[in-house]
Amino acid sequence: MLNSIFGMGGGIDVYVTVSPACGLEMITMDKQGIKSYAQVALDYNESKREIANYQDFKDGLTTLFQMRNINPAKANVHLSVPTVWFGSKEGLPLLLDDNAITNVVIGELEQTFVFKRTEPVPFWFDALASTNSDSRNVFYSAVQKEAIDQITEVLASMGAKLVSVECSLFADLKALCTTGIAAEQMMDGHSWSFMIINNNGFQMLGMQGKRILEYYEEALPLKSYEGDEIYSAIENAAQIALMSTPSSSLIILSETDLVSAEILANRLQFGGQKIYVDDNQFRKEPLMEMSLNILQEDQIKVSLHAIGAITPAGMIPVDVNFLSTGGKTQAQSASIEIQMGGGQVYELTPPKAIVLALILLAIVGAPLGGFYYYTSNLVTQNQAKITELDNQITQIDAELKAYDNKPKEEKFDAVAEIERVLKNNRTKIQAYAALGESIPEKLYLTYFLTGDDGRINVKGCADSVEDVYVFFKNLKDSLTESQLRLSKLDLKAGSLDKVVNSTVSTVDTAPYIFEITNMSDDQLKAFMNKLAGKTSDENSDNKEGSDSDKSSDSKQSSSSESDNQSNSKQ
């Protein structure tokens, strides 16, 4: 009876992805997982970073709806497109509100070649902030407004509704998590790198668990190379990026038919774990287990991008939807569609919703009236207690005012005293703590300097380049605001002979020497000159001082070298 009164309609969620290598894919879901899958070819304009022809897009969708026997008028489409743009903006004032940051992001996007002639639809989110940060850092992405308008128009002409639009970068991260490919890497506290290869070059993301810490993009004209030249070009460019962001593992995803992720993984020089994923013609097996509803030849076609598109929200900290404004999703329809039992589909329109609301109000009105009478009695009974509490609050306020009126010398400001001590010692304490937590087993420190102004300089030696980069990455992660850099990495003079002739690793036989600092070359030179002058003045004032006294003075001014000569694990 209720069905006949309201005549409610409904629909089905359809997940559509656009990929340069995999074309146009469509997936529907049920409680068991993927219910149906279909795929057709679709050209993608790499230079404009959008669908090449929207009539082809419409024809492809029509074919997919027919293949899966879905009525487009009942379809709620969730669309995922290739990542058009991704970037970061650092050093924003903390006082800026969200609207102001949106304007800053749009200004940055309008300087890019993609959005100089077309209006962007941005989506931004805060980067993982440091507790000591005095500014705001954000990552942002965007798609072309014109592209979304044309896609919406195509779907509307078919009777379908566009519910959400996300991009492949975040779909890929969700898919890595839901398939278990990066299960270990996405655990809290794990630092790893994510490399994405496409026809325009590659992107490198520095990750901590499921959060993005760093982003780097290298443009490479891969289509202009032939054969092995492609891998050589990527290898040469990526090696520098890998060295600057060392991590324990690297996941390589190829989204282009020009590059095999497996071959590239074998060529890249990386000391940690390497995991490769081919989201292209080189895929040899399905990326996850699927139900028997999907034919075996179709299972291998299902892309990582498509798997991420069907992954529920909340899998990663950021859920991207370019149809949202200010965190609120834009309304796509004035009606609500509900799937009922027995295969019936109902549509709840505003007029029908008003009638339903009146019926529900009549049903719940009587219990609410009784509840109101009961709560009114409770309020009356507790009014005396509230009055007593108000009197106590007034008395306490008077005592606080009397205390505030006391002369300053009679009061001890414990908070101010604690802040003063922490301010004087925080920098050094953080540096020493980070140093103790970051040193690999076969790495030795020969020099360490830290000052109240935050300047740091570390020198040492190691058995391998990998140990140096692991130490540098760990130290950089611990001191996120220090802006450390690896200023020197070289072989000791004559170190190869010592390594060959020695059977035990010591500070004397470690072949690689390094220096890590956040000071410029001029600052280092000026500080060392100042330190040398101070030591000379102290020696002239105390000519009878022993060599051990001079050594002690040197330790006080530039930190202990002898302690750092020993194995850092001690």
Chosen domain end from 326, 342, 358? 342
Same structural domain, 278 and 321: no
- pLDDT range class, residue 420, cuts 50, 70, 90: low
Same structural domain, 188 and 325: no
Give the model's pLDDT for residue 326: 44
Residue with tokens 């942002």: 140
The encoded tokens of residue 423 equal 């301010």
Same structural domain, 25 and 170: yes
Same structural domain, 484 and 439: yes
Neighbours of 486 (CB within 10 A): 19
Same structural domain, 190 and 87: no
Average pLDDT over residues 60-74: 93
Specify if 162 maps to a domain: yes
Sheet holding 249-254, edge to edge: 211-219, 201-208, 191-198, 249-254, 273-278
Q: Does position 434 have pLDDT exceeding 90, yes or no?
A: no
With pLDDT > 70 as the criterion, what percentage of the chain qualifies? 79
Specify if 532 maps to a domain: yes
- Range name among 169-178, 270-279, 449-458 with the lowest pLDDT average: 449-458
Q: Does position 146 have pLDDT exceeding 90, yes or no?
A: yes
Chosen domain end from 271, 286, 301? 286
Handedness of CA 383, 386, 392, 398 (dihedral sign): negative
Same structural domain, 24 and 133: yes
Give the model's pLDDT for residue 497: 62
Phi/psi of residue 517, nearest 5 degrees: -155, 165
Q: Does position 256 have pLDDT exceeding 60, yes or no?
A: yes
Q: What is the pLDDT of residues 150-190, one digit of tens each?
A: 999 999 999 999 999 999 999 999 999 999 999 999 998 88
With pLDDT > 90 as the criterion, what percentage of the chain qualifies? 34
Neighbours of 546 (CB within 10 A): 9
The domain total for the chain is 3
Average pLDDT over residues 412-438: 69
Same structural domain, 23 and 97: yes
Same structural domain, 314 and 173: yes
Q: What is the pLDDT of residues 296-341, one digit of tens each?
A: 888 888 999 999 999 988 888 888 999 885 433 333 334 455 655 5
Helix axes 465-478, 414-438, angle to 10 degrees: 170
- pLDDT range class, residue 64, cuts 50, 70, 90: very high
Specify if 3 maps to a domain: no
Any idea what DSSP says for residue 567? B
Give the model's pLDDT for residue 94: 84
Give the model's pLDDT for residue 347: 52
Give the model's pLDDT for residue 436: 76
Give the model's pLDDT for residue 541: 59
Host H or E run for residue 146: helix 145-158
Pairing of strands 12-19, 23-30: antiparallel
Same structural domain, 140 and 211: no
Beta-carbon contacts of residue 142 (< 8 Å; ≥ 6 apart): 84, 85, 105, 109, 115, 120, 121, 122, 123, 322
Same structural domain, 109 and 55: yes
Same structural domain, 44 and 67: yes
Query: Phi-psi category of 275—alpha, beta or left, where left has phi over 0 and alpha has psi -120 to 50?
Result: beta
CATH code, 190: 3.30.420.40
Specify if 318 maps to a domain: yes
Specify if 408 maps to a domain: no
Specify if 170 maps to a domain: yes
Choose from 12-16, 237-241, 531-535 the range with maximum mean pLDDT.
12-16
CATH code, 486: 3.30.1360.100
Same structural domain, 157 and 15: yes
Distance CA 254, CA 106 (A): 29
Q: Does position 551 have pLDDT exceeding 90, yes or no?
A: no
Host H or E run for residue 514: strand 512-517
Q: What is the pLDDT of residues 361-407, one digit of tens each?
A: 777 766 776 777 777 777 777 887 888 888 888 888 888 887 777 66
Its pTM stands at: 0.57
Specify if 497 maps to a domain: yes
Give the model's pLDDT for residue 522: 85
Distance CA 295, CA 316 (A): 30
- Mean pLDDT of all residues in the chain? 80
> Domain residues for 326?
9-179+287-342
Chosen domain end from 304, 319, 342? 342
- Range name among 56-60, 174-178, 324-328, 479-483 with the lowest pLDDT average: 324-328
Specify if 336 maps to a domain: yes
CATH code, 100: 3.30.420.380
Average pLDDT over residues 497-522: 80
